[in-house]
A = this chain, B = another copy of it.
Amino acid sequence: MEQAVTQPQTFDRVLSSMCTRPHPVAREAAERFLATNPGDPETYRSVAELESAVIDRLGEVTGLDNPRGYVASGGTEANIQAVRAARNRTDVAEPNVVAPASVHFSFQKAASLLDVDLRTAPVGTDRRADPDAMAELVDSDTALIVGVAGTTEYGRIDPIPALADLAADADAAFHVDAAWGGFALPFTDHEWHFAHAAVDTMTIDPHKLGRAAVPAGGFLARDPETMDALAVETPYLESTSQATLTGTRSGAGVASAAAALDELWPAGYRETYERAQANADWLAGAFAARGFDVVDPVLPLVAVDLPDALFDSLTDRGWRLARTARGELRVVCMPHVTREMLEAFCRDVDDCREGPVGT
């Protein structure tokens, strides 16, 4: 009976995750739909209906009429699928994908899996994709251009319309990875979605800032041909084809995404975003006041140049922290991150240094 007492981590020191404690309505729906499999829509019909409702809602969030897509396990799967669809739709023998160096590592996974050439271009000094640098990597074998709307490391939004133009000029597909940023960006002035540019596919994860339960990622496509390019035939299922990467999928994730979107879109998500952004701004200010180099939080994500020893001391105190590739501390102000948590964190930062600032 050992495992009967194993408890999950609490969220009161988690600053590293792009997942979060689900909203209560999302948790309730996840529990209700635990014993369902949207991968078998003829058997599990009501969860299949909820999945359609989620995709319709995600179309509203991302400016897309008549959206195609499905609820994936997360951003990695959705990004893989974007690369896979582009690869499957191109005629060239050795397709390549052109992306900014700031793309999530799932594109490395996709490239390895799908045997395409991933070409990454340096980002600008603003940490955003540089369309000119990317243009230099594009050639007649380019099947896909990728932009990020909310980078994993610094929360930056790439110049999506300019990248869409680059894709159009190259006759390549265009994918936007808004896995994390997609539920914050509707409340900003950024241009990032299907109605702002000729975006073909998008990743947007309800289980990140959408406050659904894990696993509930989102893969969206403008055209049915994209889904057709992913489909394989399915004997022994009464549905006739399957466009997903995995087979069995989480009905809990689907139902919780449906419930969260129903409850929170748009007002609840606006409130979630504004609170998270205010926390990020506060934390950035608190670190700056302590003399650290802080990367301005464009979205609710703060990167700070922290000495390794301090990072390790904070980890020893139970804080769950993550780093950028350059080694900066990276705090993701998810919905479970409160001002009180951040104040406690800053007290520990002070404690772990020689002494408080100014002494």
A77 B40 Cβ-Cβ under 8 A: no
Q: Is A288 an interface residue (CB 8 A)?
A: no
- Residue of B27, B46, B113 near A9 (CB, 8 A) is B46
How many identical chains are in the complex?
2
A259 B19 Cβ-Cβ under 8 A: no
Q: Is A245 an interface residue (CB 8 A)?
A: yes
B233 A108 Cβ-Cβ under 8 A: yes
Q: Is A4 an interface residue (CB 8 A)?
A: yes
- Residue of B22, B112, B234, B255 near A105 (CB, 8 A) is B234
Most chain B CB within 10 A, of A27, A36, A325, is at: A36
Whether A323 contacts B35 in the complex (CB less than 8 A), given A74-B246, A76-B247, A77-B247, comes out as no
Query: Residues 45-74 of chain A: 1 if any B CB is under 8 Å from the residue's CB, otherwise 0?
Result: 111011001000000000000000000011
B7 A32 Cβ-Cβ under 8 A: yes
Interface residues on A, range: 35 or more
Cα distance A263–B77 in the bound complex, in angstroms: 32
Extra contacts, 7 of them, besides A105-B232, A214-B250 (Cβ < 8 A), are A2-B262, A16-B43, A31-B31, A37-B214, A75-B247, A215-B215, A250-B253
Whether A235 contacts B325 in the complex (CB less than 8 A), given A43-B320, A248-B214, comes out as yes
Cα distance A84–B153 in the bound complex, in angstroms: 29
A3 B262 Cβ-Cβ under 8 A: yes
B112 A115 Cβ-Cβ under 8 A: no
Cα distance A88–B27 in the bound complex, in angstroms: 39
Q: Which B residues are in CB contact (< 8 Å) with A214?
A: 34-37, 248-252
